[in-house]
Amino acid sequence: MDSPSLTAPSPAATPAETSADAPVLGTVAVVGLGTMGTGIADVLTRAGREVIGIDTDPDAARRAVTALETSTARAVRRERLTEAERRDALARFRTFPDLRAAAEADLVIEVVPEDYDTKCQVFAALDAVVKPGTILATGTNALSVTRLAADSDRPERVLGLHFFNPAPAMRLVEVVSSVLTAPEAVAAVTRLARELGKDPIAVGDRPGFVADGLLFGYLNQAAAMYESRYATREDIDAAMRLGCGLPMGPLALLDLIGIDTARTVLDAMYASSHDRLHAPAPVLRQLSDAGLNGRKSGRGFYTYAAPGSAETVPDAETPDPADGTAAARTVGSVGVVGSGTMAAGIAEVFVKAGYSVVLAARSAEKAGAAKGRVTKSLDRQVAKGRLTAEARDTALARLTTSGTLTALADVDLAVEAVAEQLDVKRELFAALDGICRDGAVLATTTSSLPVVACARATSRPRDVVGMHFFNPAPAMRLVEVVRTVLTSDEAHATVREVCGTLRKHPVDCGDRAGFIVNALLFPYLNNAVKMVQEHYASLDEIDAAMKLGGGYPMGPFELLDVVGLDVSLAIERGLHTEFRDPGLAPAPLLEHLVAAGCLGRKTGRGFREYARR
């Protein structure tokens, strides 16, 4: 249940928007038949609307007709349309080269390029030809809807209608009101969106609205991370796909959206917020000025087989697996230190991969309890048919436990998964330094503390490396391999080779706050909190926007409550301390909730309330 004090009033709940008296929009004109305009026309046509497609480029109009023919034929093959329904849909779509064709439209949706002057010209021409009651909608996600409305002869009939690409597949539609927009116009397009099978959310006029307002800040930071050479483009994209479950990595997504489009959106966001996190990364300007705008031009962050192609091809930045690889040390036995969920999960991963594992904890009882977690997990996998009983027994036979660290004297790799407190970890590494044999690699699973501080607690900092597993370790494929300025090539190579044996995907990163995933994820989560704090949108609207419009597996507030608000606040404070950027300062609302003991699911209340178990 939402906490009433945290949920901003939702514009979607106004009586006008739910009114049955809203005008029916039977004929819709779509101005601009590029990818987005064609997709919107497809959705409208299949939903029974008469659609007038308008584009001055006859080739664009022909491509739109061909695209609709192709998509409806595919729908027939998949039994989503009958042949008769397909013929009717195609008959409802007509194309014209002149805006005068919109004269009889009840709604006009413009999706011309993101240029204010171009859109103003379109709206001025439409003012002269459409009916008095016609609603004019802009598909912008960056420009001011209010400014476009103010320059129109009918400001009360102008609003934003932001579909997401690809329009036929993406369920989210943002309905954007200016201070001038009439409630009945909002009600009419909201009802239309629902009739199209979409999930509309009503938002106010600010650059990026909800979904892109959060998404583009994250994309910009990923571009800046790449530009700083902190991590490769491949590792940044893999980290966010595998670590967060996102459908695409940020740099690949920028190439899909278009570097020039991203730059335009970020320019508008920065002009509004003056937040340095929204100032376009210089690499975006460099690429767009060079005409390297992503897939549509054949090259952006990646190189593509041809303009418009989704197939990437090797280029000068494509990593060579054999380049600079040091000899890895042999690892046959592994020590895991800790007794919590993460320690048990990591031990499970190693024994299933064939390693002999010693699980050490502060007492024999705690170590035994951790082994019990491993056993229970393997039993569940057997019950679900994912593992044979023989494989379970073999894996468990590789696992021994101990209540003292001395049992790790002969391991080749020691992995600690103890409390996320620097003094605790430093004390442990000092102890491991005196116990583990020469040549053993010592790894920390920290997600937020400096790895080098652990390394300097030992007499062998060259053998210390970060090995950040993600929770739950048996299921998550990503491991961030963190090397400090003191880590040797051999220790680094050893951990990467071990990750391969574990069937994990290693990504390399340096020893700085957040590494890759948290450094990109938590500013996005913090910005979502700021949106609620500013009463721009509600928890439910923001969560829905990111799941439906961005393809995120969880909305930001769902995720914050799962991670824990105290954990999230600690990570955000670490990022702010490291980078000293005002935009990274934790949102006061998050700090207040933590101070009140509202830490998320584990306490029964965070941004939402949960049933007590």
Q: Are 53 and 111 a contacting pair, CB within 8 Å?
A: no
CATH code where residue 235 lies: 1.10.1040.10
Closest CA to 248 of 258, 265, 236: 236
Q: What is the pTM of this model?
A: 0.91
Domain end residue (candidates: 204, 233, 257): 204
Indicate if 447 belongs to the active site. yes
Cα 281 to Cα 115, 221, 345, 574, 584, distances in angstroms? 20, 8, 38, 22, 16
pLDDT of residue 542: 97
**46 and 161, same structural domain?**
yes
Asked, for residue 95, whether it belongs to a domain, the answer is yes
**498 and 550, same structural domain?**
no
**525 and 469, same structural domain?**
no
**143 and 36, same structural domain?**
yes
Alpha-carbon dihedral sign for residues 119, 120, 124, 125? negative
CATH code where residue 69 lies: 3.40.50.720
When divided into structural domains, the chain yields a total of 4
* Distance separating alpha carbons of residues 480 and 559, to the nearest angstrom: 20
Domain end residue (candidates: 176, 204, 232): 204
**163 and 147, same structural domain?**
yes
What range does the domain containing 276 cover? Answer: 212-297
Asked, for residue 368, whether it belongs to a domain, the answer is yes
Give the active site residue among 293, 297, 448, 518. Answer: 518
Give the active site residue among 162, 278, 468, 576. Answer: 468
pLDDT of residue 2: 37
As beta bridge partners, residue 357 has 334, 399
Domain end residue (candidates: 510, 544, 563): 510
Helix 259-273 to helix 211-227 angle, to the nearest 10 degrees?
110
Asked, for residue 488, whether it belongs to a domain, the answer is yes
Per-residue pLDDT tens for 424-464?
999 999 999 999 999 999 999 999 899 999 999 999 999 99
**159 and 87, same structural domain?**
yes
As beta bridge partners, residue 204 has 177
**460 and 387, same structural domain?**
yes
**446 and 341, same structural domain?**
yes
Per-residue pLDDT tens for 38-94?
999 999 999 999 999 999 999 999 999 999 999 999 999 999 999 999 999 999 999
Asked, for residue 59, whether it belongs to a domain, the answer is yes
Please tell me what DSSP assigns to residue 580.
-
Closest CA to 549 of 58, 118, 266, 164: 164
**488 and 362, same structural domain?**
yes
Asked, for residue 31, whether it belongs to a domain, the answer is yes
Asked, for residue 305, whether it belongs to a domain, the answer is no
Per-residue pLDDT tens for 342-382?
999 999 999 999 999 999 999 999 999 999 999 999 999 99
**141 and 279, same structural domain?**
no
pLDDT band per the 50, 70, 90 thresholds, residue 483: very high
**557 and 443, same structural domain?**
no
Asked, for residue 522, whether it belongs to a domain, the answer is yes
Q: What is the per-residue burial (b if ≥16 Cβ within 10 Å, else e) of 272-287?
A: ebebebbbbbebbeeb
Give the active site residue among 288, 447, 448, 568. Answer: 447
**540 and 457, same structural domain?**
no
Per-residue pLDDT tens for 531-589?
999 999 999 999 999 999 999 999 999 999 999 999 999 999 999 999 999 999 999 99
**Residue 90: HSE in the Cβ half-sphere, 13 Å Cα cutoff:** 18
Q: Which helix (H) or strand (E) holds 206?
A: none
Give the active site residue among 480, 541, 558, 572. Answer: 480
Asked, for residue 271, whether it belongs to a domain, the answer is yes
